[in-house]
Structure 1
Amino acid sequence: MTLSCFRKARRATLCALFAWLGFALCAQAAPSGGRAPDERDLTPLETLGKRVFEDTNLSRPAGVSCASCHDAAKAFQGNNGSAVPAVARGSLPTSLGKRNTPSIMYASFAPPFGFIDDKDEETGEIEKIPAGGQFLDGRARDLLAQVEGPMLDPLEMNAPSKRFIVEAVRDGSYADLVRQVYGEKVFADLDAAFEKLAQAVVAFEASARFHPFASKFDDYLRGEAQLTALEKKGFELFKDPKKGNCLACHAGKEDSRNPEDWLFTDFTYDALGGPKNIAIPSTAKPDSSPDLGLCARKGLAEVAPPGFKVESVCGAFKVPTLRNIAVTEPYLHNGVFDKLRDVVAFYATRDTDPGHWYPKDRRGKPEKFNDLPAAAHENVNVKEVPYDRKPGQKPRLSEQDIDAIVAFLKTLTDREKKQDSESRLR
């Protein structure tokens, strides 16, 4: 199934799956008595998922929830008040993550991890490339598999087991809602109960709250708003294959006015060779191992097609959606950039002026791709526009072009939904 087809079939598939499992993801919300105001647009299942998502009693020690690092006010991205903004603080005082927290808005559109056909524009040959999945390295096949990761990670919520989580919910304030959704005997089998709680979180993360399509750009697509001259210029540069060439990875369907065809990611993986972020303690250590991204994904070789070289994706991370990118700083997998303009400028001048982005060695030569071992340098994207430049050459984008693209990217920030748009968005 192509990514386009997956997007169109996604909602129907989820509805059918959850209906088969015996609960109503797609049903209208039940009467809101006893529920918080921000739960009134959710079904009972989605409400349950929200409460699990926000439950600070599921960590050890208590105090951290999924929402701690996926803050709704920051497009479901964040760092739980970490002293190192690039990585999140966990439940233990000394716990810090190793990667930047990705936004989970629009994450439900990602297909399960697998390999898709990709046509080489120069040779016309078809090859299989990895795409989809969750987390920056795709280690979770889908949203359901993703739920348990942060909960059980010692650097994040630090829950000792799935059983611990289920027991905390069973003994907590919304246990009756769990029984309402799944039946009175839901806690009889604790292992099965965890799976059901995870399914509820998936339902919440698949709700319109996580994909409102409520940005200025969405209104522009619908014919309800106009871009400024600078924003329009940025959009054209964004699409231009000889300038920004951003659509090559941050995909959108140019002939479509449907916001769902503009997810600004193709869900593939790319090696950008971003600078090392020495602010991350685990990275700053002299004996620290480099973060190899996708090639370190457990079991990759077992699911890869014949002939696929796992080492070819060392340093590759999942292409993020650019929706809400202006409010989900810091950027790149290691959070090395805290300003959106710096990211765009890095793409434009990484290869024309590497000395601006990378430290210099004893001879004064920039140590390009210094966050990767030398063997992985050949995986870094240096062929596609705008990376196809050499030191001293003119960048594909001027300073004014960079400003224009940044102005366009700011139109991708979701705004509060209009009252009359709920029926259209659900």
Structure 2
Amino acid sequence: MTDRPAAAPSTPSRLLWSGRIVFLLAAAVLLVSLLGTAGVFVARPERAPAMFGDLLQDVTGFNPHPVALIRPPVQPLSALAQIGRQIFYDRSLSASGQQSCASCHSPARSYGPPNGGLLQPGGVGLAPQGLRPPPSLAYLYRQEPFGIGPALDDDAPPSLDQAAQQAQAGARATKVAGGASAAPALVPRGGLFWDGRADTLMDQASGPLMNPDEMANTDLHAVVRKLALTKYRDAFKPLFGEAILTNPDLLFAEAMSAVARYQIEDPSFHRFDSKYDHWLEGKVRLTRAEMRGLRLFNDPAKGNCAACHVSQPGRDGLPPLFTDTEYEALAVPRNPAVPANRDPRFVDMGLCGPVRRDLMRQTQYCGMFLTPTLRNAARRGVYFHNGVYHTLRQVLDFYNLRDVAPARIYPHGVPDDLPRRYRGNIDMADAPFGRRAGERPPLNDAEIADIIAFLATLDDGYGAPHKFLRGSSPP
């Protein structure tokens, strides 16, 4: 046989191959273009369209739409705040002579408890006593006074009882992460301490000084006598005149005002320099675990944490406080380690007693406690109003399992630290609550670990030397 040259492709075949080549070239050009565009978005995520935001966050860990946060100004302390700083660290103002404000509100722990103990030493003999672990003093500069119901008429403000009765007429709204504030006219909010009994930082500062379980002075006159013996007593005179040292009521009031000014002016009380703050500003990346945790934190169907612990900056650029400052009845289990709980008849019911007494008749608030900030939560060693938990894993297990596996939360499978007649106050609507016993928990172990990873990004002092985290040092 003789070899014959191959037949030339027919015209239709040549057209088909040409079309394929053109298509492949176009696809290659498109791919290069997409890769180039993606590269630009990865390098400069702030330039990416909003529709690509979640994808870019997952890929890069960056915030594709950074914001400019408005922090409190940093400037030298005023003369009054300098006095407040002296008072804050002064142990001589306690009945024992060994306890200051900083003893229970440690600068090294972001002004929270100095350790993981349920209660801190206090009283004349400095024995651990009291009812609740100390709340943090950080991030209180924007806290409003306690109130219930709509904005009040300054000319004729109703009493708290009247406001509570008005609020009781409405239904409780479900709180959803990322949604509008939940029924602002129907819930108590604001105030200081776990039960909101103090309206101002001045009121808050005076409470421990005369609490028999804390600094244990008998009255303000006992405090004033101690102030009169301090090295800084004369610092009051240039501000208020010579006569202030002979006017006990005025001296005490101005001393408490000084402590309040110190907490407002010293930036260590509201640093807003966590990793998450830097991420909001587009300065750092979150790890994949942290990013997943943020998503779960904000997801209304999963953690729904942001429904109460608001995670987004305000429209005015104010950094988020990670609290809506409202009150909830969560039904955390009874803590047998609280000394008062040795009496089975005793119940700490928050807003309606026993420490706060002006709302005792408003039983629709029994069991409600203030929602704390989650900033620096990873640094705390004790959680909730009764200190029943000591790790974030325990806290998240409570939220995750309370309704679906109550036997793992309560010894007898039902809420045990609120009288039966008040159990209707318990939050059963807001996710992750609201599921039935035996249903699948909303979060799995990996998701819980991711949320804990995200919570660590809320600690103050990201990238700063450890000594800088100690805040304002003693004078």
TM-score interval, normalised by the smaller of the two chains: 0.7 to 0.9
Aligned residue type for 2:146: F
Does residue 71 (structure 1) correspond to residue 117 (structure 2)? The answer is: no
- TM-superposed deviation, 1:116: 4.2
Whether contact under 8 Å (1:222, 1:257) holds in the other structure is no
Give the equivalent residue in structure 1 for 2:139.
106
Per-residue Cα deviation, 1:368-406 (whole angstroms, up to 9, x for no partner): 221111112111111110011111101111111111111
Quick one: higher RCO (CA 8 Å, sep 6+), 1 or 2? 2
- TM-superposed deviation, 1:273: 0.4
- TM-superposed deviation, 1:226: 1.1
Give the equivalent residue in structure 1 for 2:259.
201
Determine the C-alpha separation between the residues in 1 that align with 2:340 and 2:433. Answer: 29
SS of the residue aligned with 1:109? coil
Cα distance change of structure 1 residues 288 and 77 upon mapping to structure 2, 3 Å threshold: farther
Whether contact under 8 Å (2:272, 2:319) holds in the other structure is no
Does residue 410 (structure 1) correspond to residue 469 (structure 2)? The answer is: no
- TM-superposed deviation, 1:107: 1.5
1:250-261 equivalent positions in 2, closer than 5 A: 250-253=309-312, 258=317, 260-261=318-319
TM-score by length of 2: 0.72
Give the equivalent residue in structure 2 for 1:231.
290
Question: Which of 332, 335, 339 in structure 2 is aligned with 1:277?
Answer: 335
Larger radius of gyration: 2
Alignment RMSD: 2.8
SS of the residue aligned with 1:333? coil
The percent identity for this pair of structures is: 35
Give the equivalent residue in structure 1 for 2:278.
219
Question: Which of 283, 296, 299 in structure 1 is aligned with 2:358?
Answer: 299
1:319-398 equivalent positions in 2, closer than 5 A: 319-360=371-412, 366=413, 368-398=414-444
Does residue 263 (structure 1) correspond to residue 295 (structure 2)? The answer is: no
Whether contact under 8 Å (2:277, 2:319) holds in the other structure is no
Does residue 163 (structure 1) correspond to residue 221 (structure 2)? The answer is: yes
- TM-superposed deviation, 1:280: 1.6
Whether contact under 8 Å (1:136, 1:293) holds in the other structure is yes
Determine the C-alpha separation between the residues in 2 that align with 1:173 and 1:131. Answer: 40
Whether contact under 8 Å (1:282, 1:288) holds in the other structure is no
Determine the C-alpha separation between the residues in 2 that align with 1:391 and 1:54. Answer: 49
Aligned residue type for 1:49: G
Does residue 89 (structure 1) correspond to residue 106 (structure 2)? The answer is: no
Determine the C-alpha separation between the residues in 2 that align with 1:237 and 1:179. Answer: 54
Aligned residue type for 1:100: P
Determine the C-alpha separation between the residues in 2 that align with 1:107 and 1:126. Answer: 20
TM-score by length of 1: 0.80
User: Gaps spanning 5+ residues in structure 1: where?
Assistant: 1-7, 12-25, 30-41, 302-308, 361-365
- TM-superposed deviation, 1:345: 1.6
- TM-superposed deviation, 1:91: 3.2
User: Gaps spanning 5+ residues in structure 2: where?
Assistant: 1-68, 151-166, 176-181, 469-475
Aligned residue type for 2:254: K
Determine the C-alpha separation between the residues in 1 that align with 2:71 and 2:448. Answer: 35
- TM-superposed deviation, 1:115: 1.8
Cα distance change of structure 1 residues 165 and 387 upon mapping to structure 2, 3 Å threshold: same
SS of the residue aligned with 2:188? strand
Determine the C-alpha separation between the residues in 1 that align with 2:174 and 2:374. Answer: 27
Cα distance change of structure 1 residues 156 and 327 upon mapping to structure 2, 3 Å threshold: same
Determine the C-alpha separation between the residues in 2 that align with 1:417 and 1:298. Answer: 45
Does residue 132 (structure 1) correspond to residue 190 (structure 2)? The answer is: yes
Cα distance change of structure 1 residues 229 and 255 upon mapping to structure 2, 3 Å threshold: farther
Determine the C-alpha separation between the residues in 1 that align with 2:419 and 2:425. Answer: 11
Aligned residue type for 2:461: R
Question: Which of 280, 285, 290 in structure 1 is aligned with 2:347?
Answer: 290
Determine the C-alpha separation between the residues in 2 that align with 1:186 and 1:415. Answer: 39
Question: Which of 135, 150, 172 in structure 1 is aligned with 2:230?
Answer: 172
SS of the residue aligned with 2:386? coil
Aligned residue type for 2:118: A
Aligned residue type for 2:131: K
Question: Which of 359, 363, 382 in structure 2 is aligned with 1:311?
Answer: 363
Determine the C-alpha separation between the residues in 1 that align with 2:450 and 2:416. Answer: 29
- TM-superposed deviation, 1:299: 2.0
Per-residue Cα deviation, 1:160-195 (whole angstroms, up to 9, x for no partner): 111221221121111122224433332121101100
Give the equivalent residue in structure 2 for 1:36.
none
Determine the C-alpha separation between the residues in 1 that align with 2:104 and 2:463. Answer: 23
Cα distance change of structure 1 residues 161 and 120 upon mapping to structure 2, 3 Å threshold: closer
Determine the C-alpha separation between the residues in 2 that align with 1:274 and 1:191. Answer: 40
Determine the C-alpha separation between the residues in 2 that align with 1:54 and 1:169. Answer: 13
Give the equivalent residue in structure 1 for 2:36.
none
Cα distance change of structure 1 residues 359 and 179 upon mapping to structure 2, 3 Å threshold: same
